[in-house]
Structure 1
Amino acid sequence: MDPIALITDLVIICVILIGTQIAAKIADRMLQKYFLSFAERMLKNNILQAEHVEEERTRTFHIIIRRIVVASIYVAGIALVVLQIPQLYRIAIALLAGASLAGLAIGFAAKDALSNLISGVFIAVFQPIRVGDYVTFRNDYGYVEDITLRHTVICIWDKRRIVVPNSVISTEVIVNWSMRDPVSVWTVDFLIQDASNIDRAKSIILEIARSQPHVLKEMEIKVLLVESTKDGNKLRLYFNSLNRDLAFDTGCHILEEAKKAFMRERIS
């Protein structure tokens, strides 16, 4: 093999790899700046509502588009490297032309990767979840921290990260607490032993609920008797809060305050 030709090929390959990395970084930064300025123009023109739902929908779509562009640049760079090496070029041509068992094996091995990639694009387009959405996935509650071309990262309540392949996200049932309307309806149950105390207990519960800062007063707050057994009478409080996190914390505060009030009123 001609040493000069080999050195020349190696230099060209290095230039291609470095150029590919630089081009990918420049493209990512340019797209990021463009999307930010585009969102600002839309907000100024009142075309895009300045609401959390719209912001996260746009942000998720832009993240996926940026990553697709960057990935395409890297693929193009790898293709140029393959064309620069005659041995790799001949192997690639043979695989493409022959559609042999080796080609089928490679396709089968890449099946999961392609499935995750396609699912990532579908998530960006149809957006069942978005970056920043609060979701429940397999009984774990958290928010969507990142969506890549391969996987989605969910940060759950105890700060652990669940990394889920996009193909799994596309087939699993996920509760999205932020879609369309982040307001959450929350319930708190109370078991009152003596039926004669039901009216007083309902009054106390409603008074405490209305005093909570994160209970939406303009929406209905009610207490209903949902079950009556030999063990007691179950009262259920319904209230609305701005999001699921505030609803959970507020429900705990109401339960604690009601417990103290029941003890003072001698309600079992």
Structure 2
Amino acid sequence: MKEIMNLGTDYFTNGLVGSFIYCVIVYILGAIIKKYAYSFFNHKIEKYGKAQATSYTFAKNTVKGIVNIVIIFLCLMEIKAFHRLGTAMLGASGVVAVVIGFAAQESMSNFIGGFLLSFYKPFKVGDLISISEKNLVGTVEDIGLRHTIIRTFSNSKIVVPNSVMNSAIIENKNNDNNKFCNFIYFTISYQSDIDKAMSLIQEIATKHPDCIDVRNSKDKAKNAPIVTVYVTALKEYSVELRASVYSKDANVGFSMSCELRKEIKETFDKVGIVIPYPTQLIYTQKNN
């Protein structure tokens, strides 16, 4: 038994069997810590909901990363070669610190970026965001130690480094007051009745179940319309109209806008309001 326990003492601090048992114990303790940490943070997320989900998700990922690093470090230190390497590194700690700091510069930048995102909360997990400079629109799924995961409308998973998220100009399409303005554009011909087209757009949009009334008491006293329509441009071949229709959020607004475009176009066809499009007249000449 003693011989078995001393097996591999030339390579492992506590022998092959002892080091193996030690690593198993370290792994189990690490798994228990992560389990209880996950349970604690998931409970907090369920309790406080979306408002605090970002902070607790980042904290959960941070604990996971730290525990994994500690497990790997403790297990590697059981190997004598790594133990001697660690002792030698302490003697040249200044040089090592510079090398490691330079190599980990990007990683630290991403970690600090993730911390700032979870602290200042420019967006939260579940928010619909747009990064115009990256031509990226999607829903935030997770904010980790190194990166943020965004799910696009095409169901693709985009992984963006936190340093990029922290420095980019981001439009958060979600808000806390449940009021999102959707701009819906239409073009009609110069021969069509503008007032009739504007009235039809207002009538159809107001009746949509997802359209919400954001008027204040003064607007209601003035009998202001729920949906406003303006002439926004006189183009070369058409008149451009813009309707401002409010919904509770951007996701609902997208579906509502698509449905309104279809219904209004069909209504325009019925009443004779023309939506212009380029046409060509081709003249042919026949020789006798």
Q: Name the counterpart of 1:52.
A: none
Identity of aligned residues (%): 27
Please state how far the C-alpha of 1:77 moved relative to its aligned partner: 2.5
1:222 and 2:228 aligned: yes
Please state how far the C-alpha of 1:204 moved relative to its aligned partner: 0.5
For residues 5-31 of structure 1, the C-alpha deviation after alignment (integer angstroms, 9 at most, x for no partner) is 346333343334333332333223323
Q: Is the 8 A contact 1:120 1:150 kept in 2?
A: yes
Q: Is the 8 A contact 1:20 1:74 kept in 2?
A: no
2:231 aligned counterpart, secondary structure: strand
Please state how far the C-alpha of 1:101 moved relative to its aligned partner: 4.6
Match of 1:152 among 148, 152, 157: 148
Q: Name the counterpart of 1:250.
A: 256
TM-score with structure 1 length normalisation? 0.83
Residues 32 and 181 from structure 1, CA distance in 2 versus in 1: closer, same or farther, beyond 3 angstroms? farther
Which one has a larger percent helix, Structure 1 or Structure 2?
A: 1
2:210 aligned counterpart, secondary structure: coil
Q: Where does 1:169-248 land on structure 2 (aligned, <5 Å)?
A: 169-194=165-190, 197-219=193-215, 220-248=226-254
Q: Name the counterpart of 2:272.
A: 266
Please state how far the C-alpha of 1:154 moved relative to its aligned partner: 0.7
1:178 aligned counterpart, secondary structure: coil
Question: After alignment, is 10-19 or 228-237 more displaced?
Answer: 10-19
1:113 aligned counterpart, secondary structure: helix
Q: Where does 1:102-141 land on structure 2 (aligned, <5 Å)?
A: 103-137=97-131, 138-141=134-137
Separation in 1 of the partners of 2:259 and 2:138?
A: 21
Please state how far the C-alpha of 1:83 moved relative to its aligned partner: 4.0
Residues 177 and 9 from structure 1, CA distance in 2 versus in 1: closer, same or farther, beyond 3 angstroms? farther
For residues 64-87 of structure 1, the C-alpha deviation after alignment (integer angstroms, 9 at most, x for no partner) is 212222222223233333443343
Please state how far the C-alpha of 1:39 moved relative to its aligned partner: 5.8
Residues 125 and 97 from structure 1, CA distance in 2 versus in 1: closer, same or farther, beyond 3 angstroms? farther
Give the number of the structure whose alpha-carbon radius of gyration is greater. Answer: 2
Please state how far the C-alpha of 1:205 moved relative to its aligned partner: 0.4
2:109 aligned counterpart, secondary structure: helix
Separation in 2 of the partners of 1:20 and 1:182?
A: 48
Aligned letter for 1:208? I
Residues 100 and 168 from structure 1, CA distance in 2 versus in 1: closer, same or farther, beyond 3 angstroms? same
Paired residue total: 255
Question: After alignment, is 25-34 or 231-240 more displaced?
Answer: 25-34
Separation in 1 of the partners of 2:24 and 2:15?
A: 14
Q: Is the 8 A contact 2:7 2:15 kept in 1?
A: no
Residues 20 and 148 from structure 1, CA distance in 2 versus in 1: closer, same or farther, beyond 3 angstroms? farther
1:154 aligned counterpart, secondary structure: strand
Please state how far the C-alpha of 1:167 moved relative to its aligned partner: 1.4
Residues 84 and 71 from structure 1, CA distance in 2 versus in 1: closer, same or farther, beyond 3 angstroms? same
Aligned letter for 2:16? L
1:5 and 2:38 aligned: no
For residues 126-175 of structure 1, the C-alpha deviation after alignment (integer angstroms, 9 at most, x for no partner) is 22222211112322221111222111111100011111111111112222
Please state how far the C-alpha of 1:251 moved relative to its aligned partner: 1.2
For residues 36-83 of structure 1, the C-alpha deviation after alignment (integer angstroms, 9 at most, x for no partner) is 54566xx6xxxx5xxxxxx22312211221222222222323333344
TM-score with structure 2 length normalisation? 0.78
Please state how far the C-alpha of 1:207 moved relative to its aligned partner: 0.9
1:188 aligned counterpart, secondary structure: strand
Q: Name the counterpart of 1:51.
A: none
Question: After alignment, is 213-222 or 99-108 more displaced?
Answer: 99-108
Match of 1:60 among 54, 60, 64: 54
Q: Name the counterpart of 1:168.
A: 164
1:84 aligned counterpart, secondary structure: coil
Residues 181 and 34 from structure 1, CA distance in 2 versus in 1: closer, same or farther, beyond 3 angstroms? same
